[in-house]
Structures are given as structure tokens and as C-alpha cells.
Amino acid sequence: MARSVGESLIYYLNAIEANGAVLTKLRANAERLALPKQDIEFLHDVMLDNQQCARQAQIYSTVLSGLMDARGTIVNNNVNVLLKNLTLINVIFLPLTLIASIGGMSEYSMMTHGIDWRISYTLLTLGMVALGWATWVALVRILDKRQTKQGSHSPYGSKHGAMLLAGIRHRCDRILSRSRRRVTTRISPPR
């Protein structure tokens, strides 16, 4: 959606600049067209309105570009959070995998030679669960402390770009329709 809003803003900017070029040519040829002084003053007002509309469209384009950059940053932050969670899972399970590997080898059976294998493997499993839980709790506490120090950012809503485009459309249409009404009523045909 943001891409279509950005494209629409580009079309608006191009159209407004084209209108500005036409108005400049009309102003330059005002004497040759024998326009009255009142129409020339009105043409000057229309040119000012067109310039204001162009500035406003440029501002909205800049704001939309900033919003799109902010959205990209938010997506990047979400990916970073996902990778942080996956790293947390790896940090928890890699030592457990090492312990399980040792437990599956014959050395573990030699270390627990006098104990029944059901008891020794149950103790190994409980030890792995306890180690995994303790690692998880410790890492979550460390990460929570870091996150509270850094603070949090609130993302902009996706409707913001559409509201910008609606605002610029409304203002530019109002300015241009007001100017067209004045032009059609005041400018007389060339003689």
C-alpha cells in the first residue's frame, strides 16, 4: 500500500510541476495575450497556490519516505527479536545435546556401573531438564534487564500513509478547483 501511495505522490508532484510550468508560460505571455491587470494578478495568485500545493506534496512525500524507512526498521527489529529467540533456544539446547551425547555413550554406563540403568537415565534426564530450565531462566533475566535499559519503540500504523495521501488530495483538489473557478470567470479569451 505504501508503494502505491508513494507512486501517487510522485504523480501529484509531476502534475503540479507541469501546472507550474504552464502557469509560468501563461504569465510570461500575459502581455501578448492582452490579459487585463486583474487577470494577471489573479494568475499570480494561482501560481502561488500551485507552489504551495507543490511544497505540501513534497513535504508529504518526505514524510511518507520517512514512514517507509521506519516500517523497514520495525520489520528489521522484528527479525532481530526472532533471531534472538532462536539463539536463546540454541544456547539452551546445545549444552543439553552435549550431555545427552555423553549419556548415550558407553562412558556414561561405565560411570554409573553400580546403579540400575533406569535410575541413572532418569537422573540424567531430570538433570538435563533442570539444567535447561536454569539456563533458560538465567538468559531470560539477563535479556529482560538489557531490554529495560534500552527501552521500547512504538511503530506507526499502516493507515498513516493513506491518511497523508487523502489529505494532500483533498487540499490540492480544493486549491486547484478554486483556481479553476477563478480562471474561468476572470480570464477573457484573446482578441
Instruction: Classify residue 191: in a domain, yes or no.
Output: no
Residue 161 resides in a domain: yes
Quick check: is 176 in a domain? yes
pLDDT at 191 (0 to 100): 46
Is 132 a domain residue?
yes
The Cα 165–Cα 60 span in angstroms is 8
pLDDT of residue 114: 85
Question: Does 66 fall in a domain?
Answer: yes
Q: Is the dihedral of CA 54, 55, 60, 63 positive or negative?
A: positive
The whole-model pTM stands at: 0.49
Residue with cell 501563461: 26
Query: What is the domain extent for residue 128?
Result: 2-186
**Rounded distance, CA 58 to CA 55, Å?**
5
146 belongs to a structural domain: yes
Residue 145 domain flag: yes
Number of domains in the chain: 1
Give pLDDT tens digits along the chain (191 positions): 556 777 888 888 888 999 899 999 988 888 888 888 888 888 889 999 999 998 988 888 888 888 888 888 888 888 888 888 888 888 888 888 887 787 677 667 777 788 888 888 888 889 888 988 898 888 888 878 887 887 644 343 445 555 555 665 666 566 656 655 654 554 444 44
pLDDT given for residue 130 in this prediction: 92
Q: Measured at the alpha carbon of residue 41, what is the angle toward residues 37 and 45, in degrees to the nearest 5? A: 165
